[in-house]
Amino acid sequence: MEDNFQSAYQEEEDRLNHALVEIDATLEKLRSTPVYTGHDYTEQVLEDSREQKRKDLAKLRQEPYFGRLDFQGKDEEERKALYIGKIGADREQVSDRPLVIDWRAPVASLFYSFTGGTELASYEAPEGLIEGLVYLKRNVVIRKQILERVADTYNRDSDGPAVSDEFLVYRLGENKDNRLRDIVSTIQEEQDKIIRAAKNTALVIQGVAGSGKTTVALHRLAFLLYQYKDQVSAERMIIFAPNRMFLDYISDVLPELGVGNIMQSTFPDWAAQVLEITLPEQDAAETMNRWFETSGSMPVITEETPGRFKGSTVLMEIIESSIKLLEGGAVPEDDFIPWEGAVLKRSVILHWHNEEYAPYPPGKRKERVMARIHRWIEMELKKSPSAAALKERKKKGAQREKAYSAKWPKYDPLNIYKQIFRAVKVPADWPEGPPVLIPAAVLKETARELKKGILREEDLPPLLYIHYLLNGNEGKDRFDHIVIDEAQDFSPFQIAVLDLYVKGHSFTILGDLSQGIHAYKGVHAWEEMQSLFAPEHTAYHALTRSYRSTMEIIEFANIILSAGVNSPLLAVPVFRSGNPVRLISYADHLTAAAGEDPRSRAVAAALAALSGREYRTVAVLTRSLREAQELHAVLVQEHADIHLIDGSMTSYQGGLSVLPVYLSKGLEFDAAILADADQDHYGPAPWDAKLMYVGCTRALHELWLLHNGKLPAYVQATEDVTINGWPEA
């Protein structure tokens, strides 16, 4: 075994040296080619491509590849060793295989989809299905040109049929810093299927916490850009994520995969830009605080809760009929008379509006009709008998044109939205009540807030929809692809509106219903979203394996889900064992000094213990922001470098942090300390259990729960999974 390993290592070292010589030679040649600075377009394009190659090769020579696949096609005479890397590179000399194959190339898919077995493996190539035998699947770790590790995940000659998880487990055991990383060397089969799925489908992915949803979505974007290079561009792709700090956290993955310029935004930021409005900063933070401040005080959620109702497609219908009403009565009642003696009959204007410009949306239609009226006035002016009459008519005509335009409905989305909710006066010909019934409580609450100038996140999709119905959205303004992360917090209405802004229903929608902690918004089942698309335009995938946490943490979190939420969406761990989850009561033999609060003393002691280990990121998670602030004030005395994370952060620093659980969504820490994991902070409701589940699943290697002795029923001590009390000093 040792000998095999030695020879594999030697073999890979030789190959690496050869590859580096070849890369250096090509790079040298490119660098010695004079840079073209002239004006010839063809030469400029060639120079751009040379420059890209120079950059790619400079990157490649640090870590040329990460995997090797030995494959023999059914019709081929010999097996070939294919080396797979983040960027592909051709050889200088003509050869039957490239120096490095891009991980996104069709043949590279075998590296991910092959799960062992003695049968023929196959992959989809442009020329059709290629079948053959896989002989070897090998991971090689190269850092700064040094070969660090060689691990065979499958070897037909020695191993037997199964693919081993050993290399994956080694990778997962590493500590994490403040950024999400690429996973090209260990993408798993279930993830690969999503990454390589066809472009024009609304993919809905339910993935347990830590199943790689965010990571997979980013790899998918890199794949789409490679596979559909003539149809999509990075500038026309967008990722929606829950907050700006999260965007910062994921910001290294795409550049690492050689992809730049993809738009990244939160939904409110993007909506405000389309609507050309400024949103009040405090809204999101204030809503969060209201919901997460204390346990057990959350109102009951029904379909008539404002957030739920405003996220439903029922409101879309109400908006459509309101716009139709406005449009129907848009042309003013009277003929247009710019000055005495000149008359433009209303019937003519109606004809323009209702027939000639019928294909345009109302806002544009009004613009066209008014432009036509303006041209008509100019023609009429030419008939003026004298210069004085011309001057007089010009003046009067301009005034009456303006007054006539003012008689049209105000095609302003916010104003129409206010009319629908009766927060401002409605047009006289509108029916008494709202066109389709809006629940009285929603109507009252929304009208009250709109009158006060408050706009909530849930008001944005309806506003965008009104904007769209008024102005349309020309093809060139549509995205090539939209990624929505934490999609369980999106409403069907949000997705329906976004569908108007993307070509071919090209979505990657990812989320986890078990992490739907914002009970007042979002979906309760994925069918709510899938039903927006025709069956042939949507596909559903489930990711059930969790890669983030140790088996102990996952088993512990699964119990919270089944006992607290009655959820069937349990995670399957990778076989990576760690320390048991530690349950520590504040009363456990830890004496607080006089005047010291035992709770903060315990949290401080836990932080000191965990930050003393080899971990790079350790977080203290609290129920509310207020508690995080209070604990931070205490902890900072011993750990000057601890960060308080609140809703306003735009970047994530890593290291030691204290934050409320609801802001930790999507993030991960080597070790997590859940403060106040007791009934006083987490009630029996499913939303509370979900919140605790989110907190627990942030931990990669170590999870400690601190409590006042009264654990919620869904937090259960289990042999081999949990341990009570402090570790021995």
Does the annotation place 210 within a ligand binding site? yes
Site string for ligand ATP, 73-112 (x = CB under 6 A): ----------------------------------------
Nearest residue (beta carbon) to ligand ATP: 212
Two structure tokens written together for 523? 């979906």
Selection from 535, 555, 559 nearest residue 546 by Cα:
555
| Least CB distance to ligand ATP at residue 668 (A) | 6
DSSP state of 356: I
Nearest residue (CB) to ligand ATP, 214 versus 506: 214
Does the annotation place 433 within a ligand binding site? no
Nearest residue (CB) to ligand ATP, 361 versus 660: 660
Nearest residue (CB) to ligand ATP, 172 versus 581: 172
User: SS3 for 176?
Assistant: coil
The binder of ligand ATP chosen from 26, 550, 679, 697 (CB under 6 A): 697
Euclidean distance between CA atoms 551 and 366, whole angstroms: 63
Q: Which stretch binds ligand ATP (CB under 6 A): 181-189, 323-331, 333-341, 367-375?
A: 181-189
Beta strands in 144-233 (DSSP E): 146-155, 202-207
Nearest residue (CB) to ligand ATP, 494 versus 515: 515
Does the annotation place 214 within a ligand binding site? yes
CA torsion angle for 166, 172, 173, 179 (degrees, to 10)?
A: 150
- Which amino acid does the sequence have at 622? T
- Interface with ligand ATP, residue 622, by CB under 6 A: no
Two structure tokens written together for 365? 């239609």
Euclidean distance between CA atoms 502 and 201, whole angstroms: 11
The binder of ligand ATP chosen from 26, 211, 322, 550 (CB under 6 A): 211
- Interface with ligand ATP, residue 186, by CB under 6 A: yes
Nearest residue (CB) to ligand ATP, 211 versus 266: 211
Euclidean distance between CA atoms 28 and 22, whole angstroms: 10
Two structure tokens written together for 487? 């999609």
Euclidean distance between CA atoms 397 and 721, whole angstroms: 83
Does the annotation place 672 within a ligand binding site? no
| Least CB distance to ligand ATP at residue 479 (A) | 21
| Least CB distance to ligand ATP at residue 557 (A) | 10
- Interface with ligand ATP, residue 550, by CB under 6 A: no
Two structure tokens written together for 166? 């050993």
| Least CB distance to ligand ATP at residue 277 (A) | 30
Nearest residue (CB) to ligand ATP, 135 versus 170: 170
Integer CA distances (angstroms), 486 to 191, 383, 518, 533, 553, in order: 17, 65, 11, 19, 21
Does the annotation place 503 within a ligand binding site? no
Q: Token match 């006083």: residue?
A: 680
- Total residues at the site for ligand ATP (CB under 6 A)? 24
Nearest residue (CB) to ligand ATP, 258 versus 461: 258
- Interface with ligand ATP, residue 214, by CB under 6 A: yes
- Interface with ligand ATP, residue 215, by CB under 6 A: yes
Euclidean distance between CA atoms 111 and 716, whole angstroms: 40
Two structure tokens written together for 118? 């003695």
Euclidean distance between CA atoms 177 and 618, whole angstroms: 10
- Interface with ligand ATP, residue 172, by CB under 6 A: yes
Q: Are strands 237-240 and 263-265 parallel, antiparallel or unpaired?
A: parallel
- Interface with ligand ATP, residue 188, by CB under 6 A: yes
| Least CB distance to ligand ATP at residue 81 (A) | 23
| Least CB distance to ligand ATP at residue 621 (A) | 13
DSSP state of 680: T
- Interface with ligand ATP, residue 181, by CB under 6 A: yes
Integer CA distances (angstroms), 308 to 214, 372, 456, in order: 25, 43, 13
| Least CB distance to ligand ATP at residue 121 (A) | 19
Nearest residue (CB) to ligand ATP, 420 versus 569: 569
Does the annotation place 88 within a ligand binding site? no
R_g over Cα of the chain: 31
| Least CB distance to ligand ATP at residue 546 (A) | 8
Nearest residue (CB) to ligand ATP, 523 versus 609: 523
- Interface with ligand ATP, residue 183, by CB under 6 A: yes
| Least CB distance to ligand ATP at residue 243 (A) | 13
Nearest residue (CB) to ligand ATP, 512 versus 676: 512
| Least CB distance to ligand ATP at residue 312 (A) | 25
Two structure tokens written together for 431? 């029916």
Integer CA distances (angstroms), 2 to 5, 8, 89, 152, 200, in order: 5, 10, 33, 13, 49
Number of C-beta neighbours around residue 119 at 10 A:
9
- Which amino acid does the sequence have at 264? Q
Q: Are strands 67-73 and 128-143 parallel, antiparallel or unpaired?
A: antiparallel
Q: Which stretch binds ligand ATP (CB under 6 A): 47-55, 85-93, 155-163, 185-193?
A: 185-193
User: SS3 for 247?
Assistant: helix
Helix then strand then coil, in percent of the chain rounded to 5, is 40, 15, 40
Does the annotation place 209 within a ligand binding site? yes
Beta strands in 111-161 (DSSP E): 121-125, 128-143, 146-155
The binder of ligand ATP chosen from 461, 660, 666, 686 (CB under 6 A): 666
Q: Which stretch binds ligand ATP (CB under 6 A): 65-73, 165-173, 306-314, 416-424?
A: 165-173
The DSSP result for 553-585, as a single string, is HHHHHHHHIIIII--S-PPEEPS---PPEEEEE
Note the residue count of the chain.
729
| Least CB distance to ligand ATP at residue 346 (A) | 59
Site string for ligand ATP, 518-547 (x = CB under 6 A): -----------------------------x
Does the annotation place 640 within a ligand binding site? no
Phi, psi (deg, nearest 5) at residue 625: -65, -40
Number of C-beta neighbours around residue 179 at 10 A:
14
Q: Which stretch binds ligand ATP (CB under 6 A): 43-51, 204-212, 411-419, 676-684?
A: 204-212
Nearest residue (CB) to ligand ATP, 310 versus 548: 548
Name the residues that contact ligand ATP, by CB under 6 A.
168, 171-172, 181, 183, 186-188, 191, 207, 209-215, 512, 515, 547-548, 666, 668, 697
Which residue numbers belong to the known binding site?
207-214
Binding residues for ATP: 207-214
